[in-house]
Amino acid sequence: MNWYLAVLKKYAVFSGRARRKEYWQFFLFYVLVIVALSILSGILATIVPALAIVGSLLVSLYYLATLLPLIGVSIRRLHDTGRSGWWVLISPVALFFSLQDSQPGDNQYGPNPKA
């Protein structure tokens, strides 16, 4: 949970580096919340069809509220592997890069967060 909150605190920070642990724990919690809200939306829609819009609104609001932090941590994760943040525009490639280990030592994006 601490990693999730740390990413939210740096919601618009696109410089620096992020460890794999920080990125994947944020991403896992992000996906779990989206899934939980989607299930809640489905339950609300089956109980009271008029509430379907409320569930969809909750999912949409969470998605929009966490989009910028997700992009920020993705860019910082790419920086940690020594790549430009522009790779985030090609999602499958960026996902592959996010699985790789950090570059040892400092790089052009800052000091190694593992140190």
Does a structural domain hold residue 17?
Answer: yes
Please say if the pLDDT value at position 51 is more than 90. no
Does a structural domain hold residue 92?
Answer: yes
- CA neighbours within 13 Å on the CB side: how many for 11? 8
Does a structural domain hold residue 58?
Answer: yes
Does a structural domain hold residue 109?
Answer: no
* Torsion sign (Cα): 90, 95, 96, 98: positive
Please say if the pLDDT value at position 103 is more than 80. yes
Does a structural domain hold residue 70?
Answer: yes
Question: For position 112, what pLDDT does the model report?
Answer: 86
pTM: 0.80
Does a structural domain hold residue 108?
Answer: no
Task: Report how many domains make up the chain.
Answer: 1
Percent of the chain with pLDDT over 90: 38
Question: For position 39, what pLDDT does the model report?
Answer: 92
- Domain hosting residue 8, numbered range: 2-98
Does a structural domain hold residue 78?
Answer: yes
CA–CA separation, 26 vs 99, rounded Å?
14
* Torsion sign (Cα): 91, 97, 99, 103: negative
